[in-house]
Structure formats: C-alpha cells, structure tokens
C-alpha cells in the first residue's frame, strides 16, 4: 500500500485538462492522430439513449464496464457519503426565501453521453482546445461523447429554467494513469444565478447595475466586457465565501486555504481553491464568474452568475485518507465495510487493508437459555477478537432467529480472516476457527449447530 504522504505530493489536477493551457493549440492539431481502429458496435445504448456509432468511436471495453458500475448509487462507497455531505451542507445553509425549501436543485440523473455541443461548444471551448482531442475524450460518434465534466449540463439546465443547481455524476477522460487519475471520476458542479437585486440585496428604489451601459466595454484580466466592476466584486465575494464555508465544513476551519488564478473557457475571471494538506498545497476545485455569452445562449438575459466544479475523489482522498484512487472501485468488503452504516457527517479515516485474500468462515450456534441476543453478540466478538487476534478483519452477525417450537435462539456469524503478512490457507484458519468454537462452548455454554 502506498504511503499517504508520498502520494499526496504526486497529486495532480483533479479537474484535468479543462483549465489546461489555452496556448497548446499548435500541438493539439498534430497530436490528434486518427483514432485507433477498434471493434465498434453499430449502436451504443446508455441511460435510455441510443446512438449510431461512427469512426470517431474510441470507447474501450474497460470504460464501458466502468459506466455500468455507478459508484454514487452504492450506499457504502465513501464517494456517496461525501456527495451527501456536500448536498446536506448546501441544503442546510441555502434556502429559498421563507426557508421552507432548499435553494439548490440537485440533478443526479443527467445522461452521461452528451453532445459535443454540451461538452464543448456551449461552454465556449475553443475549437482547437486540447480537451476536444480523441486522445483526451471518449467519443461515441462525431457529435457525441462521454461527458468529460459535469459542466456539460450547465447550458441545458439553465435553458430549462434552473437558476440554482448542483449537478453530480461520473465523468470520463482519457487521462494519465496514476494514484490520482482514473478514466472515470466524479464531480459535483454548482451554478448560482442572481438578478441585480439578489446580488446586491438592494431595497426598493435603490439601483445598482450588473451590466455595463457602454456598448464597447473592454474585457480585462479582472472582468468580462458586459459586467460592471461592482457585479464582478459582488459575485467574487459570494462565490469565494460559499466555497470557503464548504471547505471549512469539510476540512475544518483551521485548515489553511488559498485562492489561485486559473483559466476555464466558460468562466472569467476563474480561480482554483487549494487547501494545505500534510504540508503541501492541494488543488481541490475550479470555479469562476460565468461567461455572460453562455448565459445568454441559454436564454438568461437579466442575470449574472458563478459556477464551480469539485473533484469528489480528490476531496475524499484527503477527507478519508484514501491513498489510491482505485480503492474507490474496490469491491473488497475490507474497504467497503469501513464506510458502511456511517452518516455523511461522520469523520472516519481509512485503515489500509491487506493485499492478501480473505478467508471466510461461518459459525452457527444455539444460545444458552435466558441469554439475550445483544449480550451474546458482545461476548462472541470478544472471544473472536481474543482468539483470532490480528487475523480477524471483520465479524458480521449474518442471521439471528428464534425457534419457537424448540424454545431456542440461534445466531450465525460470518468471520472474515485476513493476514497482513501472507495468504492464509484454509487449514490454518480452521485451527483458529475451531479454537473460537471451543471457547464459545466452554465459556458461554453455546451449542454448535
């Protein structure tokens, strides 16, 4: 298992290529070599949509498999806990006037195959931007790809009339492979739009403009041509305080953070938030003032807004101390059981599991007369821990029932044995298992079944 400190120093961008250089256009054209000829299906179906494929198709069988998994629907996955924690934070803090309902709509069911318009054009991504390359994006056909970021839904959701929303889901990139990059990862996006009155909290009669009157106002490093200086300042303060509050809620207010200038095609100005983790600055999200052109094309003519996108894996790795991104995909109960039954707000640190295989044994017995189920469970766990020591990874009560006819109670436990040092054989586990059974019979008077 990789040492956490070492891994953190290698953490690269969680957001990948969208904030990457505007300047890399020359090499972009060269590097976009013809996609490798792959076996491709005539049709591809996903999330209730069907697409006819063409030569642009570059999905690998492995990435299709990842699409089928749906980690955010698994209750035990730490990413699900984190998603819920962030949603709870937003619902708790931001309410519609009157306070009865949450301000942000949560969109979790957006289809993962999106048009290239949604993924790139609507977001004003330059035609020669690196992110459009076949080597960076999974294409289903010329006009459709797997969403490479949750920003791909901004335009459609605004067009549908949503002003304030969170979008969460799995996104796909043909990226490098290391401890922090995986072809599929998860993002949480937020968009918040304001009318002038909402932004400035003005009272009747007061007026402050969000748009420049001058028709040929200039774009500057600090602002877009259409925005007034006041609007940008107000938006920046609201955006940054929203994210600083979120960071405090996740990492604690004592965690150091800093803002860094950034570039995204769909926001200006743009920023990244970094937090100090184990002595190193770590980038956790990208955000900015939304391009007015994007809002206008989605039919929003009288509002301004901000947006942010968070890489969930990146935050979960820090929050739960998970050293390798592949672990989120583990089906190993040694990993998943550490997050089972937790509330989203619970603080938990992951304890590395052994790389050696598990050995499973069950134990079933009748309880002695008059012993309550709960008392028995506590004693059983003590005995197992005592006799099995370091070889015990998990103990689960898998069945419990009362046999009315016989007037007896039964319990069954599943014990997961695993060593940190070596692969255990069934025979050696059996020796330990038998000693547990013996102790339960001798000390507590249970009858093995």
Q: Which residues bind ligand PHE (CB under 6 A)?
A: 15-16, 18-19, 149, 151, 189, 264, 267, 286-288, 307-309
Nearer to ligand PHE, 149 or 418 (CB): 149
- Strands 164-172, 105-107: pairing kind: parallel
Alpha helices in 114-195 (DSSP H): 116-119, 154-159
Whole-number minimum distance, CB 305 to ligand PHE, in Å?
A: 10
The C-alpha atoms of residue 433 and residue 387 are separated, in whole angstroms, by 8
Whole-number minimum distance, CB 264 to ligand PHE, in Å?
A: 4
Residues 44 and 59 sit within 8 Å (Cβ to Cβ): yes
Residue nearest to ligand PHE (CB): 309
Query: In sequence order, what are the residues at sequence separation of 6 or more whose Cβ sits closer than 8 angstroms to the Cβ of residue 72?
Result: 79, 80, 83, 108, 168, 169, 170, 186
The C-alpha atoms of residue 419 and residue 421 are separated, in whole angstroms, by 5
Whole-number minimum distance, CB 57 to ligand PHE, in Å?
A: 23
Nearer to ligand PHE, 267 or 410 (CB): 267
Whole-number minimum distance, CB 58 to ligand PHE, in Å?
A: 20
Which DSSP state fits 110?
Answer: -
Residues 290 and 308 sit within 8 Å (Cβ to Cβ): no
Whole-number minimum distance, CB 59 to ligand PHE, in Å?
A: 20
The number of beta carbons lying within 10 Å of the beta carbon of residue 416 is 17
Nearer to ligand PHE, 134 or 267 (CB): 267
Whole-number minimum distance, CB 130 to ligand PHE, in Å?
A: 12
Nearer to ligand PHE, 144 or 149 (CB): 149
Alpha helices in 178-275 (DSSP H): 196-200, 229-251
152: nearest Cα among 138, 80, 176: 138
183 to 217, 241, 366: CA distances (angstroms): 42, 32, 50
Nearer to ligand PHE, 59 or 287 (CB): 287
Whole-number minimum distance, CB 284 to ligand PHE, in Å?
A: 11
- Strands 392-403, 280-290: pairing kind: unpaired
Query: In sequence order, what are the residues at sequence separation of 6 or more whose Cβ sits closer than 8 angstroms to the Cβ of residue 44?
Result: 50, 51, 53, 57, 59, 113, 140
Nearer to ligand PHE, 189 or 393 (CB): 189
Nearer to ligand PHE, 102 or 288 (CB): 288
Nearer to ligand PHE, 15 or 325 (CB): 15
Whole-number minimum distance, CB 413 to ligand PHE, in Å?
A: 46
């Amino acid at each position: 298992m990789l040492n956490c400190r070492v891994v953190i120093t290698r953490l690269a961008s969680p957001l990948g290529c969208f904030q990457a250089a505007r300047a890399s256009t020359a090499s972009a054209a060269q590097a976009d070599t013809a996609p490798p000829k792959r076996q491709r299906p005539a049709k591809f179906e996903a999330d209730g949509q069907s697409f006819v494929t063409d030569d642009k198709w570059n999905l690998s069988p492995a990435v299709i498999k990842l699409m089928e998994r749906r980690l955010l629907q698994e209750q035990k996955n730490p990413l699900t806990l984190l998603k819920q924690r962030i949603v709870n934070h937003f619902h708790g803090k931001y309410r519609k006037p009157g306070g009865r309902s949450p301000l942000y709509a949560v969109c979790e069911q957006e289809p993962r195959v999106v048009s290239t318009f949604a993924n790139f054009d609507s977001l004003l991504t330059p035609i020669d931007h690196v992110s459009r390359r076949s080597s960076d994006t999974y294409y289903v056909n010329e006009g459709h790809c797997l969403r490479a970021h949750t920003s791909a839904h901004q335009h459609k959701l605004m067009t549908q009339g949503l002003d304030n929303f969170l979008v969460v889901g799995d996104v796909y990139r043909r990226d490098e492979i290391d401890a922090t990059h995986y072809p599929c990862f998860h993002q949480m996006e937020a968009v918040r739009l304001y009318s002038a009155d909402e932004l400035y909290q003005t009272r009747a009669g007061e007026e402050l403009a969000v748009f420049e009157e001058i028709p040929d106002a200039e774009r500057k490093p600090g602002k877009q041509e259409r925005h007034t200086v006041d609007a940008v300042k107000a938006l920046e303060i609201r955006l940054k305080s929203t994210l600083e509050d979120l960071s405090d809620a996740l990492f604690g207010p004592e965690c150091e953070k800093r803002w860094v200038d950034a570039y995204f095609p769909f926001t200006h100005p743009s920023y990244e938030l970094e937090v100090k983790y184990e002595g190193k600055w770590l980038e956790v999200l990208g955000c900015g003032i939304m391009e007015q052109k994007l809002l206008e094309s989605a039919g929003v003519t009288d509002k301004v807004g901000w947006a942010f996108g968070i890489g969930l894996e990146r935050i979960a790795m820090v929050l739960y101390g998970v050293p390798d991104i592949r672990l989120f995909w583990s089906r190993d109960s040694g990993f998943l059981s550490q997050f089972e039954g937790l509330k989203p707000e619970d603080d938990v640190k992951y304890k590395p599991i052994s790389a050696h295989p598990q050995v499973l044994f069950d134990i079933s017995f009748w309880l002695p007369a008059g012993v309550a189920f709960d008392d028995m469970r506590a004693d059983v766990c003590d005995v197992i821990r005592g006799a099995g020591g370091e070889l015990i990874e998990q103990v689960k009560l898998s069945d419990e029932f009362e046999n009315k006819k016989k007037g007896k109670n039964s319990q069954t436990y599943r014990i997961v044995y695993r060593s940190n040092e070596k692969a255990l054989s069934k025979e050696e586990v059996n020796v330990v298992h038998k000693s547990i059974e013996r102790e339960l019979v001798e000390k507590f008077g249970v009858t093995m079944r």
